[in-house]
Amino acid sequence: MRRLILASTALLLVAPLRSQTPPSPASIAGRLTANALKADVSFLASDALEGRGTPSRGLNIAAEFIASQFRRAGLEPAGDDGYFQTADFDQVAASTEALTLMADANGETVRAAPGGIRFLETAGADFDGIPVLHVAIDRPGALESLAAGAARGKALVVEVPEGGRALVRRIPEMAGRLQAALTIVLGLPAMGPAQTERLRSVPATTPAAPCLIVSDAAFRKAVLAPGAKVSAHVPPPAVTPVKLRNVIGVLRGADPALRDSYVLVTAHYDHLGIRGSGPGDHIYNGANDDASGTASVLEIAETLAALPERPKRSVVFMTFFGEELGEVGSHYYAAHPVFPLSKTAADLNLEQLGRTDETGVGVRTAQYYLTGFDFTDLAPVLRQAAKPFGIRVVNDKEHNEPYFRQSDNYAFAEAGVPSTTIAVAYQFSDYHQPGDEWPKLDYDNMAKVDAAVALGVWEVASNPDAPAWNAKNPKTEGFRGKR
pLDDT tens for residues 418-444?
999 999 999 999 999 999 999 999 999
Query: Average pLDDT of 326-331?
Result: 93
For residue 384, pLDDT beyond 50: yes
Separation between Cα atoms, residue 174 and residue 400, nearest integer Å = 27
- Mean pLDDT computed over 86-91: 94
The yes-or-no verdict on residue 416 having pLDDT over 90 is yes
pLDDT of residue 30: 95
Q: What's the rounded Cα separation, in Å, for the pair 382 and 373?
A: 11
Give Cβ neighbours of residue 355 (< 8 Å, ≥ 6 apart).
288, 292, 424, 425, 428, 430, 440, 441, 442
Mean pLDDT, the chain, integer: 91
> Model confidence over 153-208: pLDDT tens digits?
999 999 988 766 667 777 888 899 999 999 999 987 654 445 567 788 887 666 77
Q: What does the alpha-carbon distance between residue 223 and residue 200 come to, in Å, rounded to a whole number?
A: 29
Q: What is the pLDDT of residue 190?
A: 53
Tell me if residue 113 falls in helix, strand or coil: coil
| Helices of type H across 344-397 | 378-386
The angle, 0 to 180 degrees and rounded to 10, between the axes of the packed helices 443-462 and 34-44 is 100
User: What radius of gyration do the chain's Cα atoms show?
Assistant: 24
Where are the domains positioned within the chain?
A: 16-90+243-476, 95-236
Residue 336 pLDDT greater than 70, yes or no: yes
Q: Please give the pLDDT value at position 312.
A: 97
Q: What's the start-to-end Cα distance of the chain, in Å?
A: 46
* CATH superfamily of the 16-90+243-476 domain: Zn peptidases (3.40.630.10)
Residue 5 has pLDDT above 50, yes or no: no
Tell me how far apart the alpha carbons of residues 161 and 139 are, in angstroms, rounded to a whole number: 10
Read off the pLDDT of each residue in 340-357 and give the average, rounded to a whole number: 97
Show Cβ contacts of residue 266 under 8 Å, excluding neighbours closer than 6 positions. Answer: 297, 317, 318, 319, 320, 330, 347, 348, 349, 350, 408, 409
Mean pLDDT of 455-476: 97
pLDDT for residue 301 is more than 80: yes
What per-residue confidence (pLDDT) applies to 205? 65
436, 286 Cβ separation under 8 angstroms:
yes
The fraction of the chain above a pLDDT of 70, given in percent, is 92
Residue 320's contacts (CB-CB under 8 Å, 6 or more residues apart) are 246, 266, 267, 268, 269, 270, 327, 328, 329, 330, 333, 408
Burial level of 279, CB count in 10 A (0-12/13-18/19+)?
exposed
Residue with more model confidence, 372 or 7: 372
Q: Which fold has domain 95-236?
A: Glucose Oxidase; domain 1 (3.50.30)
* Mean pLDDT along residues 357-381: 95
pLDDT at 266 over 90: yes
- Orientation of helix 34-44 relative to helix 292-306, angle to 10°: 140
Residue 166 confidence (pLDDT)? 62
Higher pLDDT, 60 or 326: 60
